[in-house]
Each structure stands twice: as structure tokens, then as C-alpha cells.
């Protein structure tokens, strides 16, 4: 069984997916690594991928200009996310521009999944699409309620 598939099995986003469905999603995963401080996404960038954190942490920054000029303003970091969490999935839902900058808070490894390819998979397998979108909605709701998750 693939490492990506085993990782996906542990994530809430993929709760209740069958082995076959997990294999289909795992086939879309590409690995990426970032060093502490690397910018992964920029505010207002177009949506291309969403990300699953394999290891490390990321900072979701809603006002990156302030943080760059005054690093002591930690409240510019809206959310810290770690292993097993996701980011960029809002773009999967609404295809809008990025609503925040995402920066590696530590050395970080992720799986990136192309939004267009993932949406195609959801259209082909509506059961998979329904489950994942339901799980994404629950996760986004949780993130909005509890802003700091580490």
C-alpha cells in the first residue's frame, strides 16, 4: 500500500472513503518540501492546489505586509496548522483567489493535490466527492471556531 494512501487514511478530510477511493486520491498527491520561513502561497494568488501537511507546521497569515515589517505582531498569524491538517481547500470549494499567505513555520513536508484534477475525480465518483466536501465543510467550520490549532 502506498505511503500517500496510508497517510490519507489518517486524515479527517478522507473519513469513510473506501480503499479504492483512497487509492484514487493518493494517485493525485505530489510531494513538496519547504524550509522554515518559505512562502507556500501568497494572498490573492490564483488557486491551483490544496495541501495536506505530512510533517512540520505552517502559519496562515491574513495580513502579510504587517508581519513582514513588524514580525513582533504575532496576531497577524491567524492560524497555525500542523501534521495531518490541510490548507488551501477553500479554493477547492469556491475557486476564489487565496484569502491568506501561508508560510512554513518549521521545515515542512506536504502532499499537494491539484484542484482541477481533484474536482474531476469528484465528478467521476460522486460518493467520494460528497464525503470529502462534507468533511471539508466540517473542518473549515472547526477552523473558524478555534482559530489557533497547535
CATH number at residue 106: 2.60.120.10
**CA–CA gap between residue 54 and residue 22 (Å, rounded):** 16
65 is a domain residue: yes
Q: Which structural domain range is residue 19 located in?
A: 3-145
Per-residue model confidence (pLDDT) at position 88: 84
pLDDT of residue 74: 46
Beta-sheet strands, E only, within 1-150: 29-34, 39-41, 49-55, 57-61, 77-82, 86-87, 101-104, 108-114
What is the rounded distance in angstroms from the CA atom of residue 52 to the CA atom of residue 54? 6
* 51 φ/ψ angles, rounded to the nearest 5 degrees: -130, 145
For residue 31, is it within any domain? Answer: yes
pLDDT along the chain (150 residues), means of 10: 91 95 97 95 86 95 60 60 88 76 94 95 96 88 66
Flag whether 150 is in a domain: no
Kindly report each contact of residues 73-80 with a partner whose C-beta sits within 8 Å and lies 24 or more positions away, as own/partner. 78/147, 79/143, 79/147, 79/148, 79/149, 80/105, 80/148, 80/149, 80/150
The pLDDT, as a whole number, for residue 68 is: 57
The answer to the question of residue 64 being in a domain is yes
Number of domains the chain contains: 1
pLDDT in the model for residue 13: 92
Question: Residue 11: its pLDDT value, please?
Answer: 94
pLDDT at 17: 96
- Whether residue 104 is contained in a domain is answered as yes
Strand, helix or coil at 73? coil
Amino acid at each position: 500500500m502506498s505511503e500517500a494512501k496510508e497517510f490519507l487514511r489518517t486524515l479527517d478530510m478522507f473519513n469513510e472513503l473506501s480503499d479504492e477511493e483512497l487509492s484514487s486520491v493518493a494517485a493525485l498527491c505530489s510531494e513538496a518540501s519547504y524550509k522554515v520561513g518559505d512562502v507556500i502561497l501568497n494572498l490573492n494568488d490564483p488557486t491551483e492546489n490544496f495541501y495536506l501537511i505530512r510533517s512540520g507546521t505552517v502559519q496562515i497569515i491574513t495580513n502579510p505586509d504587517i508581519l513582514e515589517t513588524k514580525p513582533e505582531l504575532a496576531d497577524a498569524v491567524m492560524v497555525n496548522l500542523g501534521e495531518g491538517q490541510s490548507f488551501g481547500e477553500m479554493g477547492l470549494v469556491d475557486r476564489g483567489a487565496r484569502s491568506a499567505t501561508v508560510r512554513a513555520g518549521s521545515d515542512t513536508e506536504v502532499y499537494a493535490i491539484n484542484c482541477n484534477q481533484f474536482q474531476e475525480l469528484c465528478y467521476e465518483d460522486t460518493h467520494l466527492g460528497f464525503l470529502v466536501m462534507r468533511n471539508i465543510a466540517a473542518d473549515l467550520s472547526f477552523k473558524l471556531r478555534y482559530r489557533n490549532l497547535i
